[in-house]
Structure 1
Amino acid sequence: MLNTKKERFHEVMERLELTDYRVYTDVPEITKNMMVKLRNGETQDLSSRILEPFCRYYSQVNPSYILTGEGDMLKEEPHVSEVTEVKSLSNLKSKEVKIDEQMVNLYDFEASAGLRSLLDNNHANIIGPIHIPNLPKCDGAIHIVGDSMYPMLKSGDIVLYKEMPVDMQHLFYGEMYLLSYIIEGDAYVVVKYINKSPQGEPYVTLVSQNPHHADVDIDFRTVNALALVKATIRINCMM
């Protein structure tokens, strides 16, 4: 076991593949000067001025490990053994390469500043990794809320997604997407099927699974983030 908080802090950074530059650019409360002094020894040990904002931002880190050396470096991760159902959703005609086993980060979407921010800052707001077998490559996972895709998806289910370009030419119509769009200054984040709109381009139709939710046509130019839903996970215990 490493002897100092400083050593354990740098060990955690190495585990997360974080550079000093990444930390002081990611975390507003941590400055370049603070990281340089810690690295070159001017600061003898880790202070709460660095540790507290670091653990808030990289929420998968177990602060007790850095403080005492006890416990796991990262918070407990959910395993497939806790999963009642993993369902692949992609119906793409082109054959996708499936990965025998991959680790996908589960993100705390409520703690992020929206879908665009979540996709751009993939080291932040991580709850923990999920190990998933036999699926195409995924970029991340989040819990969903609401009932618009019920019964296929229930509030609290996890969707695994792959980020896509915000470009109509890259849309796979009829597939399920996680997307965000802005109308009159209000931001919306939804999980919907995207179909062609009877209005023609640049409009698309957002379709729910739940028949109590009406279809909605939006101008695709209002979309600022887009991810293709690859699979869902339904769990039977609290993480």
Structure 2
Amino acid sequence: MIVDRILQFIEYKGINKRKFYIETGLSNGFLDKVKDIGASKIEHILNAYPEICTEWLLTGNGDMLLKSHKFGGQLNIKIDSVHEPNTTSYKPENKESIQKQQIPLYNIQAPGGIASLFQDANQDPIEFISIPYLPKCDGAIHVNGDSMHPLLKSGDIVMYKRMNNVIENIFWGEMYLVYLITDDLEEFVMIKWIQKSDKGDDWIKLVSENPQHQPKEVLFTNIKGLALVKVSIRINATY
């Protein structure tokens, strides 16, 4: 079954299901709820993991990985100097056109930084980040704080895709950048798991990975911007 092969790939990658759901954009618990997977979900998986051989995923025939990824090939992270972003199309071995993006890295501490996350503001990025085979992203920021530790730590980079700020469009159980304005008009940008609230449809629950941070129940009307976290980058060396 396709689900079994996906679980085999997850084990090979050394990741957990939650990270798989984040990277593919599939709903939390998806693999535990289905026995077969439709074409649209397959497309999500291949976009997130272009190293997977399509024939192997669909039929079990052949090798798990495409030839170009078999011998220890890894993604190279390149941070370019600030310039006008260019995108070029090319075709990997799975014959799907992938965009090589240059994703703007923003400083949300700068004036107007929050607006750059959720609007088409004119703030200049710090840099542009280029990584092959990424899912479509609108921007990137550095992580601050320890609320998502150990999954994310302060100094990591997350890349995001802005979402329509409509509660019906939320993928429950996924990780989001959340732009929140309190009743006292204080602004916060935080990274949280979003879950349904027991208080009713007008509320959502913001959940941290770090158990020392308690979940927060907030009115959805206080949420002024949402962005789905698609990619995380950790820099382990500082020299």
TM-score range, shorter chain: 0.5 to 0.7
**Counterpart contact for 2:118–2:226, Cα < 8 Å:** no
Q: How does 1:31-180 map to 2 (within 5 A)?
A: 89-90=22-23, 91-93=25-27, 94=41, 95-96=43-44, 97-98=47-48, 99=98, 101-180=100-179
Q: 1:124 to 1:237 in 2, by over 3 A?
A: farther
**Counterpart contact for 1:109–1:125, Cα < 8 Å:** no
**Counterpart contact for 2:172–2:194, Cα < 8 Å:** yes
Give the aligned CA root-mean-square deviation in angstroms: 2.1
Identity %: 44
**Counterpart contact for 1:115–1:179, Cα < 8 Å:** no
Q: 1:106 to 1:114 in 2, by over 3 A?
A: closer
SS in 1 for 2:115: helix
The residue that corresponds to 2:13 in the other structure is: none
- Partners of 2:113 and 2:123 lie apart in 1 by 12
**Counterpart contact for 2:107–2:113, Cα < 8 Å:** no
SS in 1 for 2:173: coil
SS in 2 for 1:116: helix
- 2:160 corresponds to 1:226: no
Q: 1:101 to 1:131 in 2, by over 3 A?
A: same
- Partners of 2:172 and 2:227 lie apart in 1 by 13
* Cα offset, 1:236, TM superposition: 3.5
What TM-score, normalized to structure 1?
Answer: 0.59
* Cα offset, 1:177, TM superposition: 0.2
Select the structure of larger CA radius of gyration: 1
- Partners of 1:125 and 1:223 lie apart in 2 by 25
**Counterpart contact for 1:101–1:131, Cα < 8 Å:** yes
Structure 1 residue identity aligned to 2:215:
D
Deviation string, structure 1 residues 128-178 (Cα, Å, up to 9, x no partner): 111112221000000010000000000010000000011001100000000
The residue that corresponds to 1:71 in the other structure is: none
Structure 1 residue identity aligned to 2:150:
P
**Counterpart contact for 2:113–2:123, Cα < 8 Å:** no
Deviation string, structure 1 residues 173-229 (Cα, Å, up to 9, x no partner): 000000111112111111000000011111000000000000110001111111000
Q: State which drifts further: 136-145 or 119-128.
A: 119-128
Structure 1 residue identity aligned to 2:204:
V
Q: 1:159 to 1:231 in 2, by over 3 A?
A: same
What TM-score, normalized to structure 2?
Answer: 0.59
Unaligned runs of 5+ residues in structure 1 are: 1-86
**Counterpart contact for 1:116–1:180, Cα < 8 Å:** no
| More strand as a share of residues | 1
